């Protein structure tokens, strides 16, 4: 994700302060870790109840990694509880 950020937005080190942690979600029976913006972490913990459905709004990035493999990255930029 930092490679894409560097190419199209600017200094990838900015992400270090924005995206320090990830959160685990279960989607269709699969567990997936998503990076989350630091400013949303506390709101997510306060507003989301385990087992309830929420809507995630994510920034989607894809990048070619070593060995020319394509990597997909989503990071949470907003959410909505049902």
Q: How confident is the model at residue 65 (pLDDT cuts 50, 70, 90)?
A: low
Q: What pLDDT sits at residue 75?
A: 80
Q: What pLDDT sits at residue 70?
A: 76
- 25-56 tens-digit pLDDT: 888 999 988 888 888 888 999 999 988 889 98
The residue among 73, 69, 76 whose CA lies nearest residue 61 is 73
Q: For the chain, give percent helix, strand, coil, nearest 5.
A: 30, 45, 25
Contact 5, 15 (CB under 8 A): yes
Contact 75, 37 (CB under 8 A): yes
Which residue has better confidence, 50 or 1? Answer: 50
The residue among 64, 16, 20 whose CA lies nearest residue 73 is 64
Model confidence at 73: pLDDT above 80: no
Q: What pLDDT sits at residue 22?
A: 86
């Amino acid at each position: 994700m930092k490679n894409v950020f560097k190419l199209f937005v600017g200094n990838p080190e900015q992400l270090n302060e924005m995206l320090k942690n990830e959160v685990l979600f279960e989607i269709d029976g699969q567990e997936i870790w998503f990076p989350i913006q630091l400013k949303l972490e506390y709101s997510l913990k306060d507003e989301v109840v385990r087992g309830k459905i929420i809507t995630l709004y994510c920034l989607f990035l894809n990048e070619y990694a070593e060995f020319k493999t394509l990597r997909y990255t989503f990071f949470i930029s907003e959410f909505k509880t049902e």
